[in-house]
Structure 1
Amino acid sequence: MAVMPAIIPPPLLQLPPNPRTLLLEKCKSLRDLRQIHAHLIKTGSFLHHSTFENILECSALLLPNSMDYALKLFDQNPQPHTEAFNIMIRAFILSRFPTNAVLLFLRMLASSIKPDKHTFSCILKACSRLNSVEIGKQVHAYAVKCGLACEDFVLNSLIHMYASCGDVFDARKLFDKITERGIVTWNAMFAGYFKVESWQEVVTLFHDMLALGAEFDEVTLISVLTACGRLGVLDLGQWIDVYVHENGLQSNQNLATSLVDMYAKCGQVEKARNLFNEMASRDVVAWSAMISGYSQWSQCREALKLFHDMQISGVEPNEVTMVSVLSSCAVLGALETGKWVHSYLRRKQLKMTVNLGTALVDFYAKCGFIADALETFTKMPQKNAWSWTVIIQGLASNGRGEEALKFFSFMLEADFQPNELTFMAVLSACSHAGLVDEGKRFFHSMGSIYGVEPSIEHYGIMVDMLGRSGLVQEAYDFVIEMPVKPNAVIWRTLLASCKIHKNVEIGEESLKQVVKLEPKQSGDYILLSNIYASVGRFEDAVRLRNQMKEKGIRKTPGCSSVEVDGVMHEFFAEDSAHPLWKEIYEKVDEMMMRIKEAGYVCDVAEARLDAEEEEKELSVSHHSEKLAIALGLLRSTPGAVLRVWKNLRVCRDCHVATKLISKVYGREIVVRDRNRFHHFKDGFCSCNDYW
């Protein structure tokens, strides 16, 4: 019978004598680690603490999914040295368990193991991750006790800890004590100011850096460019741009994106776009920076077009992108795009953050969908003062002033502190709803109860509220007695009230004052001209229009848009540029005939001044919003809501006519003019004829 040869296990390859070299060269998996660990135990090498620490480092820091093995090793060692604790603390931080790192540090102190500078550096990072300046201060005190607080390594970590926790005062005290600061130290200080949005401090610190001739890197420049964008410091941003190109740093995508963002926020949108186009690759941050720039500077059509290009490129949008897109949709009334964004958020199950939820509420409110705005607001998991302000303003501008004031009460009950923007929304609600007494009470309580000093904008809303309600003389007296000098907007607001209530005397004084401040605004002359026309002083009205021509002041034409089948159609008064203009004018004639049967009487004071007497009624019937409504009735599904956008304030005649059109044709018509929304239904308007 043949004898089988003995089966000899394969050797552990050719093992180098140094345990650290062995681990780095041969250990590629947990299985390898176990095999090497067994080999070191067999050879007796594992008993030496440095070998133990090599194994521990490999399992805790170098191999994936081996942290449990490292914990078992560490717990089995009855007397781990400082380096072993450092390895485990560092591993917990890298694994995003900073609390465990702090607990292990406490265990280290309880075991009377002396920490070194690396221990303090690591545990301070854990404090930064936990955003706990309280624990950080205790660690700082212990570092002082150990005589290690002045070590550069520890000092840099202390500055970073204080700065990242938002305590820039203590961070700066330590920073100023260092005589020789490296890039890491400077950047830690920049990061602290960045976190608390102390943009001026970032710029000032960079100037100090330049004056000292200190070295900086791309991380520094990104912080400074962000500050330049927030402050509008274009000259420094341009200096950095030159430096970047002279030193060949434009290939750094984060730096290139920061340049795009800086130029966009400083209003140099075209320069930003050129840099954006030159980028070899663009991530979501770059796309968002450019879209945000367009949105910020009211180039909303360009923002939405670029968002469309972003979708084609296959780059997934983030929260910043969506907020900017929703803001542009709100300005343009781009309902379908905004709804698509909301649908996208649901489909991708993206987290509804405060900023995103507030942007959605604002979008729906500014598109006249106040029910959707309320539903979105109610479903927001978290809200801030700005969220409450947006819904209050949305309710106010959609003719629900009393409900807006209820939400202000809910805001206070929820323990949110109102700010100056909140009071602008609250006072607007009072103004649009004719709640004069309430408005006066809120205005006087701003400073005395809530510590918010009224600004020129608050005074302007008060003038609007008084004048709109017919208290034109009181509004004028209010302007004269204001503690701040009235600006053009204040006088223009008073002039608009004079137009509503046909007050010629105060209207003339208002125009006189506003022309001193802004002499080239056509709307101001038109308002007084319309006041003259409304009281039959047509010669004065014509004289004022002639003065405009002599001064080269051109009237801003009224323009209305209506959305039909997802396409926006734009009209001017007496427009014949639309392909369906014949059918539109036939529909207008039918509309005017039917509403006359319902009691409509044309207000010829709203006609062109140069129109002949017999043409005045026809001129009024061809206002831009009537043409837009006519197309809506022609091309939309019966019963569908018509949505019209107008660049100027709705005139009195069109307001009366639209109420009757909504009744005669059984349609809801939503008109968004320069000031607010008008929801017309069954012959009534949400503004209660008070706008």
Structure 2
Amino acid sequence: MAFTLPLSPAKTLTATITQFPENPKTLILEQCKTTKDLNQIHAHLIKTRRLLNPTIAENLLECAAILLPEPMDYALSMFYKIDEPTSSAYTIMIRGFTLKQSPLEAILLYKKMRENSVEPDQFTFPCILKACSRMQALSEGEQIHAQIMKCGFGSYMFCENTLIHMYAHCGKVEVARRVFDGMSERSIVTWNSMVAGYTKSGYWEDVVKLFRKMMELDVRFDEVTLVSVLTACGRLADLELGEWISGYIEANGLKGNPTLITSLVDMYAKCGRVDTARRLFDQMPRRDVVAWSAMISGYNQASQCREALDLFHEMQRANVDPNEVTMVSVLSSCAVLGALETGKWVHFYIKKKRMKLTVTLGTALIDFYAKCGSIDSSVEVFERMHSKNVLSWTVLIQGLASNGQGKRALEFFNLMQEKNIEPIDVTFIGVLSACSHMGLVDEGRSFFVGMSRDFGIEPRIEHYGCMVDILGRAGLIEEAYQFITNMPIQPNAVVWRTLLASCKVHKNVEFGEESLKHLVRLEPTHSGDYILLSNIYASVGRWEDALRVRSQMKEKGIKKTPGCSLIELDGVIHEFFAEDNVHPFSKEIYNATEDMMKRIKSAGYVPNTAEARLDAKEDDKEASVSHHSEKLAIAFGLIKTAPGTTIRISKNLRVCTDCHNATKIISKIFNREIVVRDRNRFHHFKDGSCSCNDYW
């Protein structure tokens, strides 16, 4: 019989075997490389009646079920022709089903094995436990654990290692630890199984503790261990241990392991050492999708979103296909920057590549569209998702609330309850925000009380802050102040800052001054707080007090955070600061701004010079207001996009009253929809009005 073994596309070697050895296992497993080889060997064994030998039949079955990357159909046809399959034959099939991503079939076959009174052996149990792990079939895993003990394999290390793995994957990491602690001896595989179990459950502190225990007991660890521990170091920001591992890798010549170096990149990035992570990344001779994703994710988590997108574009030029992790990080960066066009391209790519719209990826898309002011697209993605979790609902509710669709947000919250999806504490932040932006004071009070009464969720500081916002925006400044003083937990700077912002809107000097006293004690160098009080003074004509607050800032060395607005055009992010001239089209932009301001003045716009720089001279105040960063960005959008195109702006600070009034008129005069995302919410300007109904 002839067996053809391919050496290269152009050259083959034919080995003619005239006689099978008594035990042909080595011959079958080594020379059976393709389905054609399998068919030839199978035919020969049938012809020579050697297939009647159970051992030889099992050798061939192992080749069909495990070694060849073919579906299990061929192996099944062979298995069903065995008159009385042994435990070894069943084990081969169970292992094959598990390896080929069919764990349910493996479990069903194991049940059939028991029904046929075939006793499993020490090799069967690890295989079926792996299938239970894949299915997260805890109940079946527990039954198998009982059978292991009954059959006397309770101290068999392979079984114990797989039990640890099974329990950890099924969310029972404490049971996995009991199995681990009960073992008389532990191999490196045992320790790695327990470390991996803690990693799977996100028990990062336990990962580090177990690793330190390994070092204390002088237990040998390997590269698999280090990958898990580096992941834990990143999550815990444990730079000290991470750097020790980095030194160990260097000293032991392990820098050739790309998985290990990728884990180092991830660790450094998550510990805030993004530059170190990038140096390691650039030094890697080969970078797979995991390495690229780790570095992009690192930039994203370090709030270096422009760098994340730049690296993503470099990844594309390197012809590396992104995966789900990459997509989530890129979408998150697009959301922060308001880079709608880039994010839409990512969504198109997901569709084109037929990537599965998982809960994680779908939720990232919902969040991205919401944070870019394209809330209808968020709803569309949400409704197309086959599977949603409470976070998906929460992100949509928060997105609707921040985009001025509070009523719709509350409708989705009601629908969520109808579908028996229990809200979480973050859900109520979105619900209360919806009430705040719609001026629904009574409804807000009701939701706040109902959190603990109906759902057992104790309000956190963020929920108290939302209630202060609801009362303050509605002009109930004194009630908001009393609410803060009666809080059962200590109010933080955000709570007092929320009240201060409401005092600015309603020109309430008394409680504005009181708020700043608390803020100076909690965060003495936060520039925005001083600016808010200064603006309150300016709004009521107390210019000397306004200047006095600014002077206090200078004396304390506190610098004002400059207003910055971003606009994306053709995939490029353009950045503008008030009254700057660093943009390459500055002259053109300022000319367009002057023309824009003249046209809206003729339509009734009156500049609010109270929003000008305090150090601006009286003659310069109007120009100062005209050159706020969002006005420059809008003017740039007007001259660089086609008529009728929606202009989208992202701003790092709250939109000032003057810019808000101006943008309403710009939207009408130029027949443009303008979407502005400020620090607090979205403003959708169209036909001379804003989605916030001037309630922000």
* TM-score tier (shorter): over 0.9
How far 1:412 sits from its partner (Å)?
1.5
Q: 2:354 aligns with which of 325, 332, 349?
A: 349
Aligned 1:88-487 pairs, distance under 5 A: 88-487=93-492
CA–CA distance in 2 between the matches of 1:590 and 1:35?
87
Instruction: Tell me the secondary structure at the aligned position of residue 245 of structure 2.
Output: helix
Cross-structure match for 2:548: 543
Indicate whether 1:34 and 2:42 are aligned.
yes
In structure 2, the residue matched to 1:638 is: 643
Q: Which amino acid aligns with 2:40?
A: D
Cα 1:176–1:649 shift into 2, 3 Å: same
The CA deviation at 1:307 is 0.5
What is the rounded CA distance, in whole Å, between the counterparts of 1:100 and 1:565 in structure 2? 50
Spell out, residue by residue over 1:234-289, the C-alpha distance to the aligned partner (whole angstroms, 9 max, x if none). 22222222222211112111111111111111222112112111212111011001
Q: TM-score, normalised by structure 2?
A: 0.91
| Mean Cα deviation higher: 124-133 or 320-329 | 124-133
Assess if the C-alpha contact under 8 Å between 1:23 and 1:36 holds in 2. Answer: no
- Contact persistence 2:94–2:110 (CA under 8 A): yes
Aligned partners of 1:678, 1:50: CA distance in 2, in Å? 74
**SS in structure 2 of the partner of residue 403 of structure 1:** helix
Q: What is the one-letter code of the residue matched to 1:653?
A: D
Question: Contact (CA 8 Å) 1:228, 1:262: kept in 2 or not?
Answer: yes
Shift of 1:495: 1.4
Q: In the alignment, what sits opposite 2:655?
A: 650
- 1:305 is displaced (CA, Å) by 0.7
Distance of aligned partners of 1:589 and 1:117 in 2 relative to their CA distance in 1, 3 Å threshold: closer
Q: 1:666 to 1:149 in 2, by over 3 A?
A: same
Give the alignment partner of residue 674 of structure 2, picking from 666, 669, 672: 669
Q: Which moved more, 1:287-296 or 1:340-349?
A: 340-349
Shift in CA distance, 659/209, structure 1 to aligned 2, threshold 3 Å: same
Do the aligned residues in 2 keep the contact of 1:431 with 1:464 (CA within 8 Å)? yes
**Paired residue for 1:574?**
579
State the one-letter code of the partner of 2:509.
Answer: V
Match of 1:554 in 2: 559
Segments of structure 1 that go 5 or more residues without pairing to the other structure are 1-9
Distance 2:136 2:206 in 1: 21
Is the CA contact (8 Å cut-off) linking 1:30 and 1:66 kept in structure 2?
no
> Which deviations, in whole Å up to 9, do the C-alpha atoms of 1:454-491 show, x marking residues without a partner?
11111122212211211111111111111111222222
Aligned counterparts of 1:382 and 1:675: Cα–Cα separation in 2: 30
Unpaired runs of at least 5, structure 2: 1-14
CA distance in 2, matches of 1:256, 1:292: 15
Matches within 5 A, 1:676-691: 676-691=681-696
Tell which deviates more after alignment, 598-607 or 579-588.
Answer: 579-588
Give the counterpart letter for 1:648 in structure 2: L
Corresponding residue of 1:5:
none
Matched to 2:524, the amino acid is: P
Residue of structure 1 aligned with 2:601, choices 596, 600, 612: 596
> Offset at 1:687?
0.7
**CA distance change for structure 1 residues 434 and 184 in 2, over 3 Å: closer, same or farther?**
same
Compared with structure 1, are the counterparts of its residues 107 and 463 closer, same or farther at alpha carbon in structure 2 (3 Å cutoff)?
closer
Contact 1:37–1:55 (CA<8 Å) still a contact in 2? no
Q: Structure 2 vs 1, CA of residues 535 and 33 (structure 1 numbering), >3 Å: closer, same or farther?
A: same
CA displacement at 1:300 relative to structure 2: 0.2
2:454 and 2:64 map into 1 onto residues whose CA distance is 61
Q: Secondary structure at the match of 2:243?
A: helix
SS at match of 1:377: helix
The offset of 1:326, in angstroms, is 0.7
Residues 668 and 126 from structure 1, CA distance in 2 versus in 1: closer, same or farther, beyond 3 angstroms? closer
Contact 1:159 1:172 in 2 (8 A): yes
Instruction: Report the Cα offset of residue 176 of structure 1.
Output: 1.0
Contact 1:365 1:373 (C-alpha < 8 Å) held by counterparts: yes
Q: Larger Rg: 1 or 2?
A: 1
Using the alignment, how far apart are the partners of 2:613 and 2:106 within structure 1?
A: 78
- Structure 2 contact 342–571 (Cα < 8 Å) conserved: no
Residue pair 2:576, 2:632 contacting (<8 A) in 1 also: yes
State the Cα deviation string for residues 596-650 of structure 1 (Å, max 9, x = none). 3333333222223233334433332333323333333334322222222322211
Structure 1 contact 397–429 (Cα < 8 Å) conserved: yes
CA distance in 2 between counterparts of 1:112 and 1:316 reads 49
CA positional deviation for 1:320: 0.6
Q: Is the 8 A contact 1:498 1:504 kept in 2?
A: yes
Give the one of 485, 488, 509 matched to 2:514: 509
Cα distance in 1 between the residues matched to 2:30 and 2:502: 84
Is the CA contact (8 Å cut-off) linking 2:29 and 2:59 kept in structure 1? no
- In 2, the alpha carbon distance for the partners of 1:25 and 1:632 equals 67
Q: Is the 8 A contact 1:307 1:325 kept in 2?
A: yes
Report the residue type matching 2:539 in the other structure. Answer: S
Let me know the Cα RMSD of the aligned residues. 2.5
Q: Distance in 1 between matches of 2:32 and 2:541?
A: 97
Q: Secondary structure at the match of 1:678?
A: strand
How far the C-alpha of 1:299 sits from its partner, in A, is 0.3
Structure 1 residues 572, 22: CA separation in 2 closer, same or farther (over 3 Å shift)? closer
Write out per-residue CA displacement over residues 562-583 of structure 1, whole angstroms, 9 at most, x where no aligned residue. 4455554433333444455455
Over 3 Å counting, the alpha-carbon distance change for 1:537 and 1:287 in structure 2 is same
Shift of 1:94: 3.3
Distance 2:253 2:263 in 1: 15
User: Contact 1:164–1:191 at 8 Å: present in 2 too?
Assistant: no
Deviation, structure 1 residue 11: 9.1
Relative distance call for 1:602 and 1:151 in structure 2 (3 A) is: closer
- Counterpart secondary structure, 1:560: strand
**Residue range with higher mean Cα deviation, 552-561 or 527-536:** 552-561
Paired letter, 2:635: A
After TM superposition, give the deviation of residue 663 of structure 1 in Å: 2.1
Retained in 1: the 8 A contact 2:155–2:183?
A: no
